[in-house]
Amino acid sequence: MNTTRRLTETVFVITLGALLIGGVLFVIGQAAGLVAGQNEWLEFFNNVIKPPICIAASICAVAGLLLSYRRPNKAVPQQQKVTSS
């Protein structure tokens, strides 16, 4: 089970990084297209860049949900009984 959690964490981190970098590129590209007045740039970023970002966000959300349900089992420390002398 630990391997499954590690795999889920890896998928979560990779997709989170991909969607954050993709989101920044998307916003910068859209802003540049607006400033330059290039409709083709806006269409490119909307049609080519946005779908992979949305897929990465969906995978990241599912991995995050799975991570919230499967926590590693930790040994609960037992309290010592206090004896009076």
74 lies in some domain = no
Q: Is residue 14 part of a domain?
A: yes
Q: Say what the pTM is.
A: 0.73
81 inside domain:
no
Q: Is residue 8 part of a domain?
A: yes
77 part of a folded domain: no
Q: Kindly state whether residue 85 falls inside one of the protein's structural domains.
A: no
User: Given this model, what pLDDT does residue 20 score?
Assistant: 96
- Per-residue confidence at 31, pLDDT binned at 50, 70, 90? very high
DSSP string, the chain: -HHHHHHHHHHHHHHHHHHHHHHHHHHHHHHHHHHHT-HHHHHHIIIIIHHHHHHHHHHHHHHHHHHHH-PPP-PPPPPPPP---
Residue 47's domain spans which residues? 2-69
44-81 confidence digits (pLDDT tens): 999 999 999 999 999 999 999 999 885 656 666 666 67
Residue 79 included in any domain: no
Q: What is the number of structural domains in the chain? A: 1
**Residue 84 falls within a domain, yes or no?**
no
